Structures are given as C-alpha cells and as structure tokens.
C-alpha cells in the first residue's frame, strides 16, 4: 500500500510541476519519506534516515523535505520538533494536498502540518494513474475499523472508506489500456470492501471481483490484504469460479491460541480459521495460503504458543511473515504490561520460523516437474537470469532475456530453494 501511495505522490507532483523521480536523495529538489508505523523498528528508521537528509538540507537549504504516511500521522508536530529542518508533515489521508503544500513552502518558506482526517475522498483529488506497467496496483478501500488491540492502523489510516465500483472499474480499464496484464487490488482489509455499485446498491468484495475479472485484457487478478472475518461464501466461490483470480491468499491469523485471539480482538477463534482455509482449499485446491503471526503478545504463555505451532502444523502455510510483538502507542495492548521477556519472544520466533520455513520448502519442492505460467518481472541478480512469479506468487529464476519482462512464459520447474524456484523455458 505504501508503494502504491508513493507512486501516486510522484504522479501528483509530476502532473503539477513536472517533477520526476531521481535515483538518490542527493539529486532531489523535493525529498519525501513515506513511513510505516506498524512496528517500532520501522518508526525508528524514520529518524535515522532523517539524519541523512539534515546534511542535504545544510548544503542545499532550498531542498524541500517532507515526511508522510503513518508515522507522520501519529507523531505530527513532534517530528518537526525533533527535526526542525523538515518542511512538511502529512498523514496518509492528506497526500492529495502535496502540490499545494510544495507551492506554499516554495513561496513562503513555512513549516506545514497536514494530519487532520477529512471525510472527503482523497481519491477524487488524484490525477490519472500513470503506471503503464505490466503489473498495476489499484486501491479499492482505505483504513480499518477492526481495532485489533495491538494495531496502530485504525488510528493512523482512519476508518474504512471504499471507492465506488465505477471508479475502481475505470481505473482498472485505464491500467489495462496502458498495457497491464496483472492487477492487484489493495486495501488494509481489502475483502471488507463495501462500495456503491452502478445499480445504487452496496457491492461487497466478491461482487467487485467478478466485475473486474470480466474486464478485457486482464490475465491475472490478485488482492492484498484480507481479514479472516471478511471471508464470505462469495469470495470462496470466486476462487472456484474465476480462473483469472490467482490461487494465492494472504490471510493473517496472528496466533493459534483462542485466548490470545480474543485478547487481540480478532473476532474469530482457531477452529473458524482452520475451517475457513479448508473451505478455500476445497474450492481451489492449488491455492497457496500465506499468513502473518505475532509472537509474544502480552500474556502469551508456553501453552498459547504451542497452540500457534499446532495451528501452523494443521493448516500448513506456503509462506508467512512473523514478527515479535511491538507495543504501539495509543493501542489498548500497549497499556497492558509487555509481559513476555525478550529472550522468550526471540526463542519462540525462531521456533516458529523454523517450522514455517520447512513448510515453505515442502511447498516449493512440490512444484518440481510442473509447467507453470510465469509473469516475467525483471532481470534477477545473477547474470543472464530473469525472474518472475507463478500464479501462486512464488518467485522463479530462469535463463532468459530482458525483452521477456512483462510477458507470460511457460517454465518447467527444475529446482526448489528456501525463497524461490528455478525453471527453464519449455518449447511447447
Ligand atoms: N489488516 C490485516 C489483518 O488484520 O489481517 C493486517 C494489516 S497489518 C498492517 C500487517 C501485519 O503487521 C499484521 O498482520 C500483524 O501481523 C503485524 N502487526 C501489526 N501490529 C503489530 C504490532 N503491534 N506488533 C507486531 N506486529 C504487528
Ligand atoms: Fe490492524 Fe488489520 Fe486489525 Fe485492522 S484488521 S486493526 S489493519 S491488524
């Protein structure tokens, strides 16, 4: 989502003033940092990176420095107190104001703060997306109303707002006309989408999927990130019925312990999650399931953690992102003592990662010998190799040519590693 937001900021400033992206901050007239505050580490990075920009500002006082995104929303003017050389601080709901802010700073050399969360749709103020790539992102909803007790997102990104169906379809048609083969629909809780349809009725996420899937020229449809409580029958059916919907689902579960799931305010128990994955796999047997885990949530006991390991063994995940719990300011969980000692958190995280890595290896290994359609993304790091993604989102390296970027090729999978697969072009 942040990558998408960053590219829209670049689009905006390009349209307003012809600004274009440059390779390094040292060459820039405007430096924007788009930040994440989901874990403390990401937030710490903001201040260390700002140290670098301070040097640039000392050398070139005319450079405009802005901090946007969730850390900006949360920290507000504290950022300018700690780093007075920052010209503007703007939250995720305010980036459509960038051209105006840049203009004002150039003219008046003022410090600006834009962290209010207006009801207006920032989408209405954005220029046409300029993607033009073979893989495009389209935001369909923003914000989150779930208020999981550990999570800062509802406070920084505000309440859930869904774009009207017609707006989403129009943007999808535009990126397809500009050459996209793959569209990824984005949202904090993408399957919580509830947008006004052309018939004046509220459309849910699966209805939107069916409409996007019908668009001319679309070869691959993906979405991120979904919440287990928003998976309904329509979505399960969409996986069974829409071949263009790729067989990959990122479905964060966070914990396998009922007690912890309740304390996290996730709205479901472990059995519900396990049954959900069973139903989805029944609808789409080749689907890859990925997830997020938080280890060391306040009050997590050895038994709770054992339940997480047990859920992982029962479900079996293609991939997963696992994190140590990080207390976030203002969240309910941060007001409870962070009771799990760091050494215990670390040990649990390592144990969980070991199980998950083994599962990834097994899923990767099962691909050997298969012929997969791969969308070629870029040259890979090793000389003469290209890399792309299988329908189930696995990275494949193969001997190819740069002019294959953006094409769908058939590869026979010949090798499996921890993070990726190896393949060769078939001649069929
Ligand atoms: N909306 C998605 C959901 O609920 O499934 C997840 C979006 S969240 C921004 C991305 C991931 O960050 C979460 O799934 C969670 O694992 C992790 N995360 C969020 N807050 C965290 C915290 N305080 N400490 C550690 N990890 C956290
Ligand atoms: Fe955060 Fe996701 Fe929970 Fe919303 S649903 S509060 S984004 S973890």
Residues 56, 92 contacting (CB under 8 angstroms):
no
Stated as kind and residue range, the H or E segment containing 63 is none
Q: Is the pLDDT of residue 427 over 80?
A: no
Q: Whose CA is nearest to atom 5 of ligand 2?
A: 146
- Per residue in 122-146, pLDDT (tens digit) is 666 665 665 568 999 999 998 999 9
Q: Looking at the CA of 293, which ligand is closest?
A: 1
Whether 160 and 193 have beta carbons less than 8 Å apart is answered as no
Q: Can you tell me the mean pLDDT for 373-389? A: 94
- Give the closest residue (by CA) to ligand 1 atom 20: 151
pLDDT at residue 379 greater than cutoff 90: yes
Mean pLDDT to the nearest integer, 369-392: 95
pLDDT, tens digit, 9 for 90 and up, residues 151-183: 999 999 889 999 999 999 999 999 999 999 999
Name the token pair of 117: 């969360």
The helix-helix angle for 165-177 and 205-213 (nearest 10°) equals: 30
Going by CA atoms, what residue is nearest to atom 1 of ligand 2?
A: 151
The rounded Å distance from CA 375 to ligand 2 centre is 30
Other residues' Cβ atoms within 10 Å of the Cβ of residue 105:
19
pLDDT for the residue 122: 60
How far is 330 from 287, CA to CA, in rounded Å? 37
- Residue 155, strand partner residues: none
Mean pLDDT of 393-410: 96
Choice from 186, 294, 320, 356 to test ligand 1 binding pocket (greatest atom count within 8 A of CB):
294
Q: Are strands 194-196 and 421-425 parallel, antiparallel or unpaired?
A: unpaired
> What pLDDT was estimated at residue 118?
67
| Cα(143) to centroid(ligand 2), Å | 9
89 vs 72: CA distance, rounded Å: 6
Nearest to 139 by CA among 63, 74, 224, 199: 224
Mean pLDDT calculated for residue range 270-277: 98
Is the distance from the beta carbon of residue 147 to the nearest atom of ligand 2 less than 6 Å?
yes
Q: What is the mean pLDDT of residues 27-34?
A: 96
Q: For residue 225, which atom of ligand 2 is closest to its CA?
A: 2
Please determine, for residue 295, whether its predicted confidence score (pLDDT) is greater than 80. Answer: yes
Q: Is the distance from the beta carbon of residue 294 to the nearest atom of ligand 1 less than 6 Å? A: yes
Strands (DSSP E) contained in 145-236 are 161-162, 182-186, 194-196, 202-204, 220-224
Q: Cβ(292) to ligand 1 under 6 A?
A: yes
| pLDDT value, residue 363 | 96
CB of residue 294 inside a 6 A radius of ligand 2: no
- Of 276 and 120, more confident: 276
Please give the model's pTM, rounded to 2 decimal places: 0.92
- Please report the atom of ligand 2 found closest to the CA of residue 254: 8
What is the rounded average pLDDT for all residues in the chain?
93
**Ligand 1 pocket, 268 CB below 6 A?**
no
Name the residue with the closest Cα to ligand 1, atom 3. Answer: 227
CA of 1 to the centre of ligand 2 (A): 14
pLDDT digits over 217-265, tens only?
999 999 999 999 999 999 999 999 999 999 999 999 999 999 999 999 9
Instruction: Identify the burial level of 309 via C-beta atoms within 10 angstroms of its C-beta, where 0-12 means exposed, 13-18 middle and 19 or more buried.
Output: middle
93: confidence class by pLDDT, cuts 50, 70, 90 = confident
Q: Determine what percent of the chain is predicted with pLDDT higher than 90.
A: 85
Written as six digits, the tokens of 112 are: 């600006």
Q: Which is the closest atom of ligand 2 to the Cα of 266?
A: 3
Residue 52 near residue 59 (C-beta atoms within 8 A): no
């Amino acid at each position: 989502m942040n990558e998408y937001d960053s590219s829209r900021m670049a689009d905006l400033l390009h349209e307003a003033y012809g600004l274009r992206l440059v390779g390094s901050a040292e060459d820039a007239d405007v430096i924007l940092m788009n930040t994440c505050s989901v874990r403390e580490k990401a937030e710490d990075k903001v201040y260390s990176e700002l140290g670098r920009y301070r040097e640039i500002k000392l050398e070139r006082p005319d450079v405009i420095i802005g901090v946007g995104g969730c850390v900006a929303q949360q920290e507000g003017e504290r950022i300018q107190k700690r780093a007075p050389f920052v010209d503007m601080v703007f939250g995720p709901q305010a980036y459509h104001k960038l051209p105006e802010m840049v203009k004002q700073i150039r003219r008046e050399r003022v410090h600006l703060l834009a962290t209010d969360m207006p009801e207006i749709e920032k989408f209405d103020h954005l220029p046409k997306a300029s993607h033009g790539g073979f893989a495009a992102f389209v935001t369909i909803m923003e914000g989150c109303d779930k208020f999981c007790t550990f999570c800062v997102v509802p406070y920084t990104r505000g309440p859930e707002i869904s774009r009207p169906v017609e707006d989403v379809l129009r943007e999808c048609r535009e990126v397809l006309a500009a050459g996209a083969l793959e569209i990824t629909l984005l949202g904090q809780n993408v399957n919580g989408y509830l947008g006004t349809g052309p018939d004046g009725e509220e459309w849910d996420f699966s209805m939107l999927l069916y409409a996007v899937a019908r668009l001319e020229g679309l070869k691959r449809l993906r979405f991120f990130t979904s919440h287990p409580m928003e998976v309904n029958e329509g979505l399960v059916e969409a996986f069974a019925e829409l071949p263009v919907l790729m067989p990959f689902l990122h479905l964060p579960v966070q914990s396998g312990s009922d007690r912890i799931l309740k304390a996290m305010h996730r709205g479901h128990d472990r059995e519900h999650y396990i049954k959900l994955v069973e139903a989805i796999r029944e609808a789409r047997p080749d689907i890859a399931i990925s997830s997020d885990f938080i280890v060391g949530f306040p009050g997590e006991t050895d038994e709770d953690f054992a339940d997480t390991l047990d859920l992982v063994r029962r479900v079996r995940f293609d991939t997963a992102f696992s994190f140590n719990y990080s207390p976030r300011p203002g969240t309910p969980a941060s007001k409870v003592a962070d009771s799990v000692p760091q050494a215990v958190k670390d040990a649990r995280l390592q144990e969980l990662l070991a199980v998950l890595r083994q599962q990834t290896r097994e899923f990767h290994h099962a691909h050997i010998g298969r012929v997969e359609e791969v969308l070629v993304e870029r040259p890979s790091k090793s000389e003469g190799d290209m890399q792309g993604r299988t329908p189930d989102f696995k990275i494949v390296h193969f001997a190819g040519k740069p002019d294959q970027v953006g094409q769908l090729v058939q590869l026979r999978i010949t090798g499996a590693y921890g993070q990726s697969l190896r393949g060769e072009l078939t001649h069929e």
